[in-house]
Structure 1
Amino acid sequence: MEIRENVIIPLGYGKFVRSDKIIALEPIEEDRGPGRRTRVYVEQMCNPLIASRTETSVLANMVETPKEIMEANASLELLRDIYDDIHQIGPMLRKSIKKEANLDLGKIERRIEEILKHEIEFEKTQ
């Protein structure tokens, strides 16, 4: 992979940075959620920027990759975002959603976990 030079990439919520100035990406493990997905370390900045996008999506914008890989990454990023958002919904609201909309968030969450787990295992074999 080669870093694209002089390309401005979005970090989300109106934050942008030049792709060739990013020196490190760190996924946020604790307090991760909407608006808090990745720490982006940029040249000549003391503190990292907080991106609302996943490290995978930021990296995909930084490098030149084939269109098929970009589309797959976008789909997986969407699944991760949905999973993170669903994971933060408490049990009372889950019950209410299931009753009112007949939507089982637990089932959706488990299915996304299966897909992401399968994708991680697939990437390890490549």
Structure 2
Amino acid sequence: MKVVRDRLVALGFGKYARADKIVALIPIEENRGSGRRTLVYVEGVDEPLVAGRTEATILRDMVGAESGALELLKELQAQIGQVRPLLKSSIRSEAGLDLDRLSRRISELTGE
């Protein structure tokens, strides 16, 4: 992935950072909640910023939707959502393809 230079990335609650100045994203595991999702380390700032968005969402905004990949993933997820459970089970048994796991992975990647 390549970070888009000079792009402002929303961190939530009115906080923004330049994508090319963000050096680390660390998910908050303890005391996590609304408004406390990710620690964002920014070049030139001594203390990390507390972001109200997940690291996956911030990262997605840092790199942008490359070649429509994000839209393709969302479309694939919508199509998977239309497959009935019995057919999903059959596909998993016959082809070893777990559509529900794939859909969860897409959610993780898109931050939705």
Instruction: Give your verdict on TM over 0.5.
Output: yes
Counterpart amino acid of residue 42 in structure 1: V
As a proportion of its length, which structure holds more helix?
Answer: 1
Consecutive unaligned residues in structure 2, runs of 5 or more: 75-99
RMSD (Å), alpha carbons: 2.8
The 3 A distance-change label for structure 1 pair 28 and 117 is farther
Aligned to 2:27: 27
Equivalent residue of 1:23, what SS?
Answer: strand
SS in 1 for 2:36: coil
Number of the residue aligned with 1:119: 104
| CA positional deviation for 1:69 | 2.0
In structure 2, how many angstroms separate the alpha carbons of the residues matched to 1:34 and 1:70?
27
Three-state SS of the structure 2 residue aligned to 1:11 is strand
State the percentage of identical aligned residues.
44
Q: In the alignment, residue 52 of structure 2 is paired with which amino acid?
A: S
Task: Name segments (4+ residues, structure 1) moved above 3 Å.
Answer: 70-73, 115-118
Task: Tell me the number of residue pairs that the alignment of Structure 1 and Structure 2 aligns.
Answer: 82
The letter of the residue matching 1:9 is: V
Aligned residue identity for 2:31:
D
Q: Deviations over 1:60-111 (max 9, x none)?
A: 00003344426858xxxxxxxxxxxxxxxxxxxxxxxxxxxxxxxxxxxxxx
The TM-score with structure 1 as length reference comes to: 0.56
Q: Which residue of 2 aligns with 1:55?
A: 55
2:36 maps to 36
1: CA distance between counterparts of 2:3 and 2:48? Answer: 19
Residues 118 and 27 of structure 1, relative CA distance in 2, 3 Å threshold: same
**1:44 positional shift:** 1.0
User: C-alpha distance in 2, partners of 1:71/1:51?
Assistant: 27
The 3 A distance-change label for structure 1 pair 70 and 31 is farther
Query: Quick one: which amino acid aligns to residue 57 of structure 2?
Result: S
d(CA) in 2 for partners of 1:57, 1:63: 10
Instruction: Look up the equivalent residue of 1:69 and give its one-letter code.
Output: L
Distance in 1 (CA, whole Å) between partners of 2:71 and 2:46 is 31
Who is 1:111 aligned against? none
Q: Distance in 2 between matches of 1:11 and 1:26?
A: 13
In the alignment, is the contact (CA less than 8 A) between 1:60 and 1:70 conserved in 2?
no
